[in-house]
Amino acid sequence: MKCSRSKSKIKDEQKNSHNLVVLDFIGSHVVRLFVTKYPDYQIFNLDALTYAGNLENLKDIEDASNYTFIKEDINDAAVLKELFLQHKFDSVIHLAAESHVDRSITDPLSFVKTNIIGTMNLLNAAKDLWKDNYENKLFYHISTDEVYGTLGETGFFNEETAYDPNSPYSASKAGSDHFVRAYGETYGLPYIITNCSNNYGPNQFPEKLIPLFIHNIVQNKALPVYGDGNYTRDWLYVEDHAIAIDLAFHKSEVKNTYNIGGFNEWKNLELVKLLCTVMDKKLNRENGSSQKLITFIKDRPGHDKRYAIDATRINKELGWKPSVTFEEGLEKTVDWYLSNEEWLRNVTSGKYQEYYEEQYR
């Protein structure tokens, strides 16, 4: 049975509520949105800071009176239990994940640890604190469209599509989704799950396609396109994802799932060509010069051909749709990276170099 949360009631009762957001790149945008839009909420941001630069992502709000940063790891069950007891969180928005497919191919176990065991630790801490009274509590788990596997030339993933993950990354996210659902069924834990398509935007670590290629174009380095470049992804600007999360957090029924997507499919090679054109303009380079950096390399093993999201449900039920076009979002993203060269330099020093050599040797 679906138990619905009263919308007007929630607003009142969530005043002064303690909301834990567990971070990654998308999480930093969610934290900023919640801290600025809901001054009555106490937002606790938990991050292990495994990736360089995460704290810098939130410099603009670090002094806000409703914001607290906690440097801890979701892999530490005892610490989580303690934190939940201490701060009495009313809700959790869980965005912490190892999320890069290529890294999951070289080190699958670390994905099991963070994505599955880490999620279990959060679930256990929430359940133990809330189990006597689940009213107005919420465990919001953020997931990916990659749990659905791959599509052919046509069709879309919707909320009823069967899970069929192909990479260690997507298998670990699928596992975590299943555990969240299982805690709902077994222990009555109020949860929602949203599965989103590829995000892009400011602050994304330059291991993913768009920030990596922006970084390489600036440096006149090769743009390593896997296979023939005819793989298709649906791209969503990260701030639009944060808006969708805000809506789902406040308005979704519990035990519910929404797919979130950009209605914006691109073949990798076409996307890279568009990015090259934007970059040539921004860097005052001759049109076509960045495209010369495109280099086709050996395909990623188990590479999913196409992802495409049917986001009709969240559109119809919560009135959400993307607010920026891909061209607008890409331009904002490029502008951000070009005016935050220090951030880029910081996150690409040290361990990043080792990763890059290993991955693209």
Is 339 buried (19+), middle (13-18) or exposed (0-12) by CB count in 10 A?
A: exposed
Based on the shown chain and the rule CB under 6 A, indicate whether residue 208 belongs to the binding site for ligand TYD. yes
CA distance 131 to 209: 42
> From the CB of residue 133, how many other CB atoms can be counted at a distance below 10 Å?
8
Based on the shown chain and the rule CB under 6 A, indicate whether residue 290 belongs to the binding site for ligand TYD. no
Based on the shown chain and the rule CB under 6 A, indicate whether residue 268 belongs to the binding site for ligand TYD. yes
Query: Catalytic annotation on 169?
Result: yes
Of residues 92-121, which lie at the interface with ligand TYD (CB under 6 A)? Answer: 100-101
> From the CB of residue 8, how many other CB atoms can be counted at a distance below 10 Å?
7
Tell me the site size for ligand TYD, rule CB under 6 A. Answer: 12
User: By C-alpha distance, which of 240, 212, 37, 248 is closest to 138?
Assistant: 248
> From the CB of residue 183, how many other CB atoms can be counted at a distance below 10 Å?
21
CA distance 7 to 331: 36
Based on the shown chain and the rule CB under 6 A, indicate whether residue 225 belongs to the binding site for ligand TYD. yes
Stretch that binds ligand TYD, among 14-22, 153-161, 225-233, 275-283 (CB under 6 A): 225-233
**38/231 with CB nearer ligand TYD:** 231
Based on the shown chain and the rule CB under 6 A, indicate whether residue 34 belongs to the binding site for ligand TYD. no
**2/298 with CB nearer ligand TYD:** 298
**221/282 with CB nearer ligand TYD:** 221
The correct pick among 51, 226, 355, 356 for binding ligand TYD (CB under 6 A) is: 226
Stretch that binds ligand TYD, among 51-59, 129-137, 182-190, 226-234 (CB under 6 A): 226-234
CA distance 49 to 28: 12
Which token pair is 260? Answer: 């979130």
Query: Catalytic annotation on 145?
Result: yes
Based on the shown chain and the rule CB under 6 A, indicate whether residue 187 belongs to the binding site for ligand TYD. no
Helix crossing, 209-218 with 326-338: angle to 10°? Answer: 50
Based on the shown chain and the rule CB under 6 A, indicate whether residue 29 belongs to the binding site for ligand TYD. no
Active-site amino acid positions:
145-146, 169
